[in-house]
Amino acid sequence: MKDPTSPVCRTISTLLSRIGDKWTVLVVQTLANGPRRFNELRREIPSVSQRMLTLTLRNLERDGLVSRTVTPTIPPRVDYELTELGHSLQKPICGLATWAMDNVDAIHAAQARFDSEREAEAA
């Protein structure tokens, strides 16, 4: 096992934190259906604030997962779409989402058992 303080482990941890962020997952899943304008993304992900969507898109663009295309119209049109690298992230994200849906009941049951055991110990 690698030393968790090694540069490789830190790099992987940083990257997983970025791509595992809930807004990143939702944006990548939404863009998998094709390019979207900023306000379309906001409508399709109603729980995200404008600031968080802006930051998420900027980070995804910086990481090479999303491309941003500005069409010089009045007002300017800005479209976001997944790059080839962004599309390659779809399979693992979809697998993770499937695993979560398949196991949500078991996780809730485990949480309830854990909580009830802690309450019993405290009593």
pLDDT tens-digit map of 26-84: 999 999 999 999 999 999 999 999 999 999 999 999 999 999 999 999 988 999 999 99
Q: Which residue has the higher pLDDT, 114 or 9?
A: 114
Q: How far is CA 23 from CA 20, 39, 42, 56, 68, in A?
A: 8, 15, 11, 7, 17
Does the domain spanning 7-122 belong to CATH 3.90.700.10? Answer: no
Across residues 93-119, what is the average pLDDT?
Answer: 91
Going by pLDDT thresholds of 50, 70 and 90, the confidence category of residue 2 is: low
Instruction: Summarize pLDDT for 82-92 with one digit per residue, the tens.
Output: 999 999 998 88
Closest CA relative to residue 15, chosen from 68, 82, 60, 57: 60
- What is the model's pTM? 0.77
Would you say residue 108 has pLDDT above 90? yes
Domain positions in the chain: 7-122
pLDDT band at 4 (very low <50, low <70, confident <90, very high): low
